Amino acid sequence: MTVSTVARETAPRLEEVAPATMRAWVLKNPNELELATKPAPRPGPAEVLVRIDAVAICATDLEVIGEGPPALVNGGLPFNQGFTPGHEYMGTVAALGPNVDEYQVGDRVTVEIHAGCGRCKRCREGMYTACHNYGANYPGADKGHRANGFTTNGGFAQYAVNHINTLVRVPDSMTDEEAALVVTAGTSMYGFTELGGLLAGESVVVIGPGPIGLLGAATAKALGANPVILTGTRKDRLAIGAKLGADHTIDSTAEDPVAAVMRLTSKGADYVLDCAGTEESVNQAIRMTNRGGKICLAAFPHGLVKIDLAYAVQNNIYLYGIRGEGRSATHRALALMAAGRFDAKLIHTHTFALADLPEALRHARDRVDGAIKVILKPQQ
Ligand SMILES: [Zn+2]
Ligand SMILES: [Zn+2]
């Protein structure tokens, strides 16, 4: 019996649709993963079991697997705890927890990473990616927090459990691979949401054509920003950015990006989304933002960053740090994608089966064959 044939009939028993065990990658020591057979998880109240149909690899997965943070499992590093990483996935609802009627078995869904605890001040404000109880989900400190792939088991597996608040319905017109990219677009959307969200007719610069930056340029254009300027050092990535909606692309190895933005906007950008997170990029962002403009810092820098704070203060420039995809931004990103406002599939470059995760990670890490987004198909 397949999942789809039992959809929308009288609620099937869990055992009819969900197997007792599943294949899942487990993190051992740093950079050591093992494909194991694990008990398939069981959904609790307000949760569903998701059969994972596609999962994208993110640079943050490489950090979790190699170094640990920002993963936090049982209050510590994620190593040797039976933890399964992977956080950018989509799939099919395979079983419902008690009293769940918001979804049906067979529904196609993509997921947000963070469920949050639902009880802290920030969660109540919709800022569940900044939950005060991050990682508090284990015996003795259980406040119900979930961030799959960071504090709870994630998507490099055949199944995962998700809180219903983390699900976004996927239209039939959208492929599994495209739906797995929704959370990436949702992160850009959250950045623009925190900047105020009123981008129509405003100038936007995106620094760094990684996945979030590329979909950031796409999202800004879809929200009406004009012009959208993308800066970076890789010509092939900038070319994809132009296809996704950037009005201008600046090769910062050939031209000073601050001078280029001043040339294209006269007084500097109204909004800058920094997706590089380096000392150079943050200072470029400050210098290219117009007086009273806003900067979103969307990348995790490594170590301390020295910035021209005096220039920022004297020019009334606002700095916003964001993490993840809060305030239901993923729903809005999916709406733009479903409406065909940009083609996120342009950043999907490689596909592998579940068993080939090490090879998939190598492609993502070393950008083999121009890899941008590498996707695993766990049911293959
Ligand atoms: Zn990610
Ligand atoms: Zn919370």
**CA of residue 134 to ligand 2 center, whole Å:** 7
Give the model's pLDDT for residue 197.
85
Q: How far is the CA of 122 from the centre of ligand 2 (A)?
A: 6
Residue 7 has a pLDDT of 43
- Ligand positioned closest to the Cα atom of 137: 2
- Amino acid of residue 87: H
CATH assignment, 3-113+148-180+343-377: 3.90.180.10
Query: What confidence score (pLDDT) does residue 219 get?
Result: 98
Distance 119 CA to ligand 2 centre (A): 5
Max Cα–Cα distance, the chain, nearest Å: 66
- For the 186-321 domain, the top CATH level (class) is alpha beta
Q: Can you say whether the dihedral through the CA atoms of 325, 326, 328, 333 is positive or negative?
A: negative
Q: 274: CA distance to ligand 1 center in Å?
A: 16
CA of 110 to the centre of ligand 2 (A): 21
Distance separating alpha carbons of residues 157 and 26, to the nearest angstrom: 9
Cα 211 to ligand 1 centroid, rounded to whole Å: 9
- Domain residue limits, the chain: 3-113+148-180+343-377, 186-321
Ligand 2 center to residue 223 CA distance, Å?
29
**pTM as predicted:** 0.93
The pLDDT, as a whole number, for residue 11 is 53
Q: What is the distance between the alpha carbons of residues 313 and 175, in angstroms, rounded to a whole number?
A: 46
Q: What is the mean pLDDT of each run of 10 residues along the chain (380 residues)?
A: 45 64 98 97 96 97 97 97 98 96 97 96 95 96 96 98 97 98 97 94 98 98 98 97 98 98 96 97 98 96 93 98 94 98 98 98 97 96
The pLDDT, as a whole number, for residue 19 is 86
What is residue 14's predicted lDDT score, i.e. its pLDDT?
54
Q: Which ligand is nearest to the CA of 364?
A: 1
Distance 57 CA to ligand 1 centre (A): 7
Q: Rounded to the nearest whole angstrom, what is the distance from the C-alpha of residue 129 to the centroid of ligand 2?
A: 8
